[in-house]
Structure 1
């Protein structure tokens, strides 16, 4: 008897990636064969993002693509877009199952229900209720990737004026300490060299415990009580860097020296309108401290352009601040009004063409900064975790997240290789393996 096939498509952040892998594992454990999203399958799962209007559009596009691939398949939609706009999702022809950001551990059961009873199934709850205060644990998915993703935190209570995520993800919930340690041991036992720990607001990990238990304490426990070789953090907000956390990041070599710290704007007036909890001076001071303790560290960030009220002067302040900090890379995105957020109705909306122009200017600067950062490693040797063979070259990331390409006739998948950097391209470095 042929096995049923399931395909999972993910949009959005590293948290979504970790959750999508867990969803794939649930279907695999239920006897499904996991196939690429481009193939014909019995079940398609689209794990969605809703951070911008463009994210919503891509979600709808992926849903329609799945329907086109197999009109008879069960189409299941989950994640942030499903949570905040489930009625919009249901209006798309062909959707059979809608699951929000809770209840995903039942997604196989819900898909089977839709399959067997030939009916539409909706599982979208109000995640602000007390019953959703505990962390929803999902299974680990052991893919062929060189690194494993582990989500340890859920939810955000910051309510920045532009952000829909607190409504999509609910309050802060953290994976219990012993569960984190157990899972990391499972990952290392499988041979993974690197674990990326992620969360919606990772820096708030453990604040929901009684007594509170910090991310700094967790990192110390992980490094002392597991055999992990490389530990990478996904994204931490500036205000969440406590002195204890900075000390752990500075003193532990196993923690990768790559810190993604969202900036959003390099202008204090705009930061205040956004409801961010820091100033540019505080941000710059944090980066200076991190670099003084780990000079090899790379800093990457997120920047929003076109926030309501952003005049040319405010934008130029941001552009100059980006150059002053010298990020390795910048993820730039245009402000997108989200219903239920204060900024949705703010006056002084910025025209689309102006947003586009400002975004392009930041992207151009980001390219120059990446090349400048990578060039500092010419002639130096880095430990590269090899992830894939592409176009005849092995590709992987150094601890500082520099993307490195190098040739070799050996099978190096999943190995950490010493590589000497000999050239720099656009958003990557070229190396020679030191065998």
Structure 2
């Protein structure tokens, strides 16, 4: 039997797909490319925006076109929030949401015996336990994701995720360490910690928090890098910074979603900090860990964002300064308070503001990269460089600990290894260097 997968959305979804792949692998299924003809297709969906839902539906229909006789399984956030809508798509056999994926094979076997559509979506708001499914293998990637937390109760006004993921649930520390050791045995050097609201880890348990996880992972033999995927700035305290600065295993990189750079828009978003508070936290981080990369998310064109507010936000972004920014044009998400707010921004204005912010992001990224010209950085070689100009050279790319993408001359045997690279040429998207022998 052959099974194919397609994943939309975040690192948590990527982890969960890898875990589901392992379930099918253990049952002797052959995993093939999504474009090929499979007996079972699993689409792990996203529902963050209406566009995410539309893309999810497109991939479901593409699977059905690939093989009209295949079993079509739909999981993830879109499946969780709209199971009836998903089941109405002709050809969908199983909808399973964001919980109970450990039972997915049982449902598939049931469908092999009798093809009657199954709605296996449970009430996510009633879930109290972390779904502990193992994902030790991530294909040819050189970084592994480790999901340690589930759920969110922040209810930002633009976000549907609390309704798709439920309340906060944390993975047991013993399970985290066991999974990390399993990942290392598979040959991975770097683990990226992921969660829906990572900084909330442990709030549903007694006497444990994210810093305890970091402290324990530091002692895992063979693990060379630990990276925090995304965390709220207000959850970065001195204890976390103390642990991060105590070992070279911790990447000098924090992704701190800002979302908006004015207090008025932050209030409309139901974000629980001020831009001044955010800036002070970043300043403290840089004081404790010099040269750390601070990256962020920014939403432009949120309802009520005037040109004057956008200009004010630009000034704050320049003052804080980031090594990289992910910029999103606000998109209505049906079912969220923001979708019903007055003073929606024109798409043309969103596009102009996005372009302006993207230009600033490139400038700040280049300025950050410039600091490392002539310096040595640890780099894990990941893959051949897709833009190589000289086929006589074997050029490969990888990330430094502070999330700079660096291109070096290397060999295929060095993929997955950590090397010291001296940076000798600075760009915006890529920097270039030589491996120090």
Q: TM-score, normalised by structure 1?
A: 0.95
Residue 236 of structure 2 corresponds to residue 245 of structure 1: no
Farther off after superposition, 138-147 or 77-86: 138-147
Tell me the residue number matched to 2:179.
Answer: 183
Name the residue aligned to 1:279: 274
Q: Determine whether 1:230 maps to 2:225.
A: yes
Once the two structures are superposed, the pairs formed by residues 298-309 of structure 1 within 5 Å of their partners are: 298-309=293-304
**1:215 counterpart (188, 210, 218):** 210
1:142-161 alignment runs, 5 A limit? 142=137, 143-161=139-157
Q: Residue 161 of structure 2 corresponds to which residue in structure 1?
A: 165
1:345 is aligned to 340
| Corresponding residue number in structure 2 for 1:52 | 49
In structure 2, the residue corresponding to 1:330 is in which secondary structure? Answer: strand
Spell out, residue by residue over 1:294-345, the C-alpha distance to the aligned partner (whole angstroms, 9 max, x if none). Answer: 1121011111111111111111222222222221111111222223322221
Shift in Å, 1:115: 2.9
* Aligned partner of 1:105 among 102, 106, 131: 102
Match of 2:200 in 1: 204
- Mapped to 2, the partners of 1:271 and 1:364 lie a distance apart of 23
**Residue in structure 1 matched with residue 23 of structure 2 by the alignment:** 26
Counterpart for residue 134 of structure 2: 139
C-alpha contact 1:196 1:234 (8 A) present in aligned 2: yes
Q: Does 1:92 align with 2:85?
A: no
- Map residues 53-72 of structure 1 onto 2, 5 A cutoff: 53-72=50-69
How far off is 1:168 after superposition?
0.5
Distance, in Å, in 1 between the alignment partners of 2:230 and 2:174 is 22
1:22-66 deviation digits (Å, cap 9, x = unpaired): 111111111111112222211111111111122112111211222
Aligned alpha-carbon RMSD (Å)? 1.6
Q: Is contact 1:52–1:335 with CA below 8 Å preserved after alignment? A: no
1:173: Cα distance to partner?
0.2
Q: Which runs of 5+ in 1 are unaligned?
A: none
User: Residues 103-135 of structure 1, C-alpha deviation per residue, up to 9 Å, x if partnerless?
Assistant: 111122222222331121111111111xx1000
Please say if residues 386 and 397 of structure 1, whose CA atoms lie closer than 8 Å, have aligned partners that are also in contact.
yes
Residue in structure 2 matched with residue 433 of structure 1 by the alignment = 435
Q: Give the stretch that moved more between structures: 192-201 or 424-433.
A: 424-433
What does the per-residue CA deviation read over 1:404-429, in whole Å, with 9 as the maximum and x for residues that have no partner? Answer: 11122452111001112122334121
CA–CA distance in structure 2, aligned partners of residues 250 and 314 of structure 1: 36
Alignment of 1:352-363 (within 5 A): 352-363=347-358
Q: How far apart are the structure 2 equivalents of 1:141 and 1:187?
A: 5
Q: Secondary structure of 2:415's partner?
A: coil
Contact 1:181–1:226, Cα closer than 8 Å, also in 2 = no
How far the C-alpha of 1:259 sits from its partner, in A, is 0.3
Kindly indicate whether the alpha-carbon contact (under 8 Å) linking 1:24 and 1:141 is maintained by their aligned counterparts in 2: no
